[in-house]
Amino acid sequence: MERKKNISMAVIKRLPKYHRYLRELLKNDVDRISSKELGEKIGFTASQIRQDLNCFGDFGQQGYGYNVKELLNEISGILGLSKEYKMIIVGAGNIGQAIANYTNFEKLAFNLAGIFDINPKLIGLKIRDVEVIDIDGLVAFLKETPIDIGVICVSKNNAQTVADMMVTNGVKGIWNFAPVDLEVPEEIIVENVHLSESLLTLSCLMNDRTYP
């Protein structure tokens, strides 16, 4: 399957939702589903689903719909889930610990290889059998262990320094929870999760509904 060029970020951001719902359908022994039925479950129109999937190839058959297992496998491949990823977390506070404890990542082949922090009270703590290591050991760890994804859960004042350490030592993707925009080389992929921005988006939408 060949992915078409210039696919919008909006389409890409909808793919994980397709993946989640298709996994649930498969768990519930649903073998096939129409674009209309899938749209009703997800909250998209049938036309939107067909347009999104057409960005990546020809799926489904008229009069039959989509084979759930086959479509799930195709979307898993598009999302890069046909391979395993090693990741580390820098920042073992509340957010870092919550991410480390989220078992679904392992099911999706995202394997936590290390956790790092500067706080002496957290160093040595084990989170699901992964010990928190002193941040001073980060560079040595990255030199010995190839890491695909670095998760940044530190303050905005320290985030850029951590990102630089990751990039310099081979990390290709950064999942950034720090409330700051990172400066990285063009080839490095950054996905920002700014919690306050998400909350403000919610409040804006609520305000637009003219709640009292």
Asked if residue 94 belongs to a known ligand binding site, the reply is yes
pLDDT at 212 (0 to 100): 55
Domain with CATH 3.40.50.720 in the chain: 85-197
Look-up of token digits 């905005």: 156
* Three-state secondary structure readout of 114-172: EEEECCCCCCCCEECCEEEEEHHHHHHHHHHCCCCEEEECCCHHHHHHHHHHHHHCCCC
What string of pLDDT tens digits covers the 212 residues of the chain?
444 457 888 999 999 999 999 999 999 999 999 999 999 999 999 999 989 988 887 776 666 789 999 999 999 999 999 899 999 999 999 999 999 999 888 888 899 999 999 999 999 999 999 999 999 999 999 999 999 999 999 999 999 999 999 999 999 999 999 999 999 999 999 999 988 888 998 888 888 776 55
User: What's 9-78's CATH class?
Assistant: mainly alpha
Residue 63: predicted pLDDT: 63
Encoded amino acid at 126, one letter: K
pLDDT of 104 reads 86
Q: How far is it, in rounded angstroms, from Cα 108 to Cα 154?
A: 25
**Can you give the pLDDT at residue 2?**
46
Q: What is the pLDDT of residue 1?
A: 43
The two structure tokens encoding residue 159: 């985030």
- CATH homologous superfamily for the domain 85-197: NAD(P)-binding Rossmann-like Domain (3.40.50.720)
Please state, in angstroms and as integers, the Cα–Cα distance from residue 12 to each residue in 56, 80, 84, 102, 203, following that order: 10, 12, 20, 23, 25
Specify the domain boundaries for CATH 1.10.10.10 within the chain: 9-78
Helix axes 68-78, 9-27, angle to 10 degrees: 140
Query: What whole-number distance in Å separates Cα of residue 186 and Cα of residue 6?
Result: 17
Establish whether 163 is an annotated binding residue. no
Any idea which residue has 């060949």 for tokens? 2
Is 178 annotated in some ligand binding site? no
92 among the known binding-site residues? yes
pLDDT at 62: 66
- In the numeric block, the tokens 């078992």 are attached to 103
